[in-house]
Amino acid sequence: MITALTNGRVLTDRGVVERRTVLIEGARIRDIVAPGDAPHDATVRDLQDGLLLPGFIDTQVNGGGGVLFGDTPTVDALRRIAAAHARFGTTGFLPTLISGDFALIRAAIAAVDTAIEAGVPGVLGIHIEGPFLNTARKGIHDASKFRPLDDEAFALLTSVKRGKTMVTLAPEQTTPQIIASLAKAGVIVSAGHTDGTYAQIHAALAHGLTGFTHLFNAMSPLRAREPGAVGAALDDAESYCGIIVDGKHVDPATLRIALRCKRADRVMLVTDAMPSVGAADKHFALQGRMITVKDGVCVAPDGTLAGSDLDMASAVRNTMSMLGLDIKTASEMAARNPAAFLGLSGELGAIRAGLRASLVCVDDALNVRELWIDGQPVRSA
């Protein structure tokens, strides 16, 4: 069975092209052809001049649709979170677990393993954010859960059977050798909630650290005589930086300055989304504290930021309006770059023959019209 997506504008590696038809066969893109070159027996889907983009990939999703993964680490919760984010163009994501005890982490890993085995659309692995963090930069995390990255922790972090494992840690709370061992075992290591010095972060980068979790937030800042984690991130050419573009977590001017330091292909959009995304109720509990969405931001009673109410379509839209980037660059930050960070460039992140057909059709205002994950149309929440 071949599906032909016609009458749309397609974002290819060269930019947006018109009068092209994307052929889907099974789970993958078969080809991109002229409208008249589609097989005569193909099932035709008219995109009605919509813009076809690679599906968005979000490496930091705490929840959505009224569900917090850390409270309900189950396959059903993952289905609900995935459906909520599909409304906003997300075709792949890492359910994210903030600092908790090992029993919770084990349950979350088991849920992700089972969800991937069961084919829950969009689940690409797991992001374990903590508990190997620095109290000085704890943010909303419960510091009583923090602990050293010992042998038991290492075994747990390397126990995921399916999908990708991303771990956010404070490099100064462990050793370069442990980071190297995690990377060798296939774990994607990112720095976050860190008070590390430039030298400590630089050493971690030399031993397998490849990412920075929500750049600028909860990390040692760039100073005149101590560049800190931010300075190390901007100075390193190859590492990837996740950014939350909601105009609240980081001032847009700060992000524009960062983009003059960091190559655009090493920056990826993340939401750090909480249960409020895709839900009518804008209040939720997080580790015993009531979180409220105020002016588009999730905050604890003391004013501490607690993730976000941001979705990926809005993140792309904000990247264009706040940072002055074009649709190709903004889309790549939402799809190609996170795919590369996760080691999935040969599978996802672009509209190209041979890649998985995870696609989103949007209008000119980036409102989602239709969504496909691995070639299958997906009904969102």
Alpha-carbon distance of 290 to 299, in angstroms, equals 9
Residue of 272, 309, 311, 374 marked active site: 272
Alpha-carbon distance of 104 to 41, in angstroms, equals 50
The yes-or-no answer on residue 113 being catalytic is no
**Locus of tokens 């009224």:** 66
Closest CA to 242 of 305, 191, 309: 191
Tokens of 287: 């580790």
Closest CA to 68 of 304, 279, 214: 279
Q: What is the DSSP letter of 55?
A: P
Q: What is the pLDDT of residue 380?
A: 52
**Locus of tokens 């979705």:** 311
| All domains in the chain, ordered by first residue | 2-53+354-377 (2.30.40.10), 55-341 (3.20.20.140)
Percent of the chain with pLDDT over 90: 96
Closest CA to 229 of 188, 265, 201, 207: 201
Tokens of 92: 């792949």
Alpha-carbon distance of 278 to 88, in angstroms, equals 9
Peptide bond into 131 cis (omega under 30): yes
Q: Which residues of the chain have pLDDT under 70?
A: 380-381
Alpha-carbon distance of 36 to 198, in angstroms, equals 57
User: Taking every pair of C-alpha atoms in the chain, what is the biggest distance, in angstroms?
Assistant: 66
Alpha-carbon distance of 90 to 55, in angstroms, equals 6
Alpha-carbon distance of 139 to 281, in angstroms, equals 23
- Residue 300, by phi and psi: left (phi above 0), alpha (psi -120 to 50) or beta? beta
User: 253-257 long-range contacts, Cβ below 8 Å, gap at least 24?
Assistant: 254/216, 255/322, 255/323, 256/323, 256/324
Q: What is the pLDDT of residue 381?
A: 46
Tokens of 336: 């190609």
Alpha-carbon distance of 125 to 103, in angstroms, equals 18
Q: Looking at the chain, how many residues does it have?
A: 381
**At 62, phi and psi to the nearest 5?**
-80, -30
